Amino acid sequence: MASASLLKSSPVIDKAEFFKGQSLRQPSVSVVRCHPNAPSSLTIRASSYADELVKTAKTVASPGRGILAMDESNATCGKRLASIGLENTEANRQAYRTLLVTAPGLGQYISGAILFEETLYQSTTDGKKMVDVLVEQNIVPGIKVDKGLVPLSGSNDESWCQGLDGLASRTAAYYQQGARFAKWRTVVSIPNGPSALAVKEAAWGLARYAAIAQDNGLVPIVEPEILLDGEHGIDRTFEVAQKVWAEVFFYLAENNVLFEGILLKPSMVTPGAECKERATPEQVADYTLKLLHRRIPPAVPGIMFLSGGQSEVEATLNLNAMNQAPNPWHVSFSYARALQNTCLKTWGGSPENVKAAQDALLIRAKANSLAQLGKYTGEGESDEAKKGMFVKDYRKTQWLDVADLLLFKSRPAINPLSHQGVYNCKEFNKTRRD
């Protein structure tokens, strides 16, 4: 359990203040012009939410805390439940999410929780709103706002992320419901290039989303994930990451995004998952911090790394190595599987295992809290926590989530998977034409 002193020591927003002015506001726009006599003066937008955005970002990026990513779509959540023998029903999803948000003292280690839309509007099994339970734990609610990955026409079998249509009205509604930050995930694949088209599409989409989110009071988490797929070494990952982040920040600036009011969710710089030469935590930290110093302005308050299929222990060790010396930013975590894997398997869908599962979640949350402070040792970790969770072609499993929503609910007999479980793009395209 978190002590009162520990909770009060973090710069969090209390519940009353958190929901102050929660009714929808139309963001005003002020214009600042530099060199007013010059024919091409610089225009900078300033949303009426600017102060709140900065405060929210700093709250999420508070010492010793990070983000619990529990925003799996219903289809992806179904795959997690299937791994423990449960059906993908709303009741089972509700039971699991209730287990997560009600873990006693979770707010000592977790500052924000990313939710799927269903969860944002959902209540716990005891009838309390999930959002209220999080706020009582001093955890800021966030919301996944992208609509998933789909094939990018004209590219080398790459992806783009959809969801900009209607985003302004959706983010405004999410703010009313209690969300204070948002997440948009797009991916870049090294084995497939990445092509200039895919990188530009990823960067532009992230920038438009970030500007729209800020205009409606939500701190945008900017997440261009560089997938682990491939045999490439760490130097190739570093090279690609530099290009991607240069493009991302160029377009963030073009869209007048307030850097002090965003959070970043990058991949760590690691070798490809199939590379024979593995990197030590010290090497990962060295390459990753070098990338951050070259590409990320110090105005950005927090870098919340994704785990990207690393084992629970590997993700924590790498984060710890990056916090052995002071950084210009809050360097922390935004983990899903790397926080939940052991918890989920411990639960197994049995009510009598809830406490043990919550304890497993708190162990991982505390370990990553210590890593954020540079104090994690890795002692006493279970074998389960050391197992890797890399899923090859993970972006294509997201394509299937979208297909499941748009097509396969009405056409259940069509299976776009080959017998090896590898995405069959030709079959999917044929199905769409049909």
Give residue 168's identity as a one-letter amino acid code: A
* Residue 223 annotated among the catalytic residues of the structure: yes
Helix (H), strand (E) at residue 111: strand 110-115
From residue 142, give the alpha-carbon distance in Å to each of 155, 174, 183, 302, 314: 32, 9, 7, 15, 26
From residue 119, give the alpha-carbon distance in Å to each of 73, 97, 143, 338, 399: 10, 8, 9, 20, 21
- Choose, from 58, 144, 183, 265, the residue flagged as catalytic: 265
CB-CB neighbours of 149 under 10 Å: 23
75-76-78 Cα angle (round to 5):
65
302, 60 contact by CB (below 8 A): yes
From residue 418, give the alpha-carbon distance in Å to each of 124, 344, 424, 430: 38, 28, 6, 14
357, 347 contact by CB (below 8 A): yes
Nearest residue to 117 (alpha-carbon basis) of 144, 80, 79: 144
Nearest residue to 347 (alpha-carbon basis) of 116, 104, 76, 86: 86
* Residue 8 annotated among the catalytic residues of the structure: no
69, 114 contact by CB (below 8 A): yes
Query: To which residue do tokens 């978190």 refer?
Result: 2
CA 7 to chain centre: 24
Alpha carbon distance 209, 240 (integer Å) = 22
- Choose, from 158, 223, 225, 312, the residue flagged as catalytic: 223
Alpha carbon distance 288, 413 (integer Å) = 45
129, 136 contact by CB (below 8 A): no
Structure tokens at 280: 């030590």
> What are residue 196's DSSP bridge partners?
none
Alpha carbon distance 408, 431 (integer Å) = 9
Query: To which residue do tokens 């994930």 refer?
Result: 225
- DSSP annotation of 263 reads E
Nearest residue to 135 (alpha-carbon basis) of 39, 14, 235: 14
Nearest residue to 226 (alpha-carbon basis) of 282, 285, 147, 308: 308
Alpha carbon distance 200, 243 (integer Å) = 10
Q: What amino acid positions are annotated as catalytic residues?
A: 223, 265
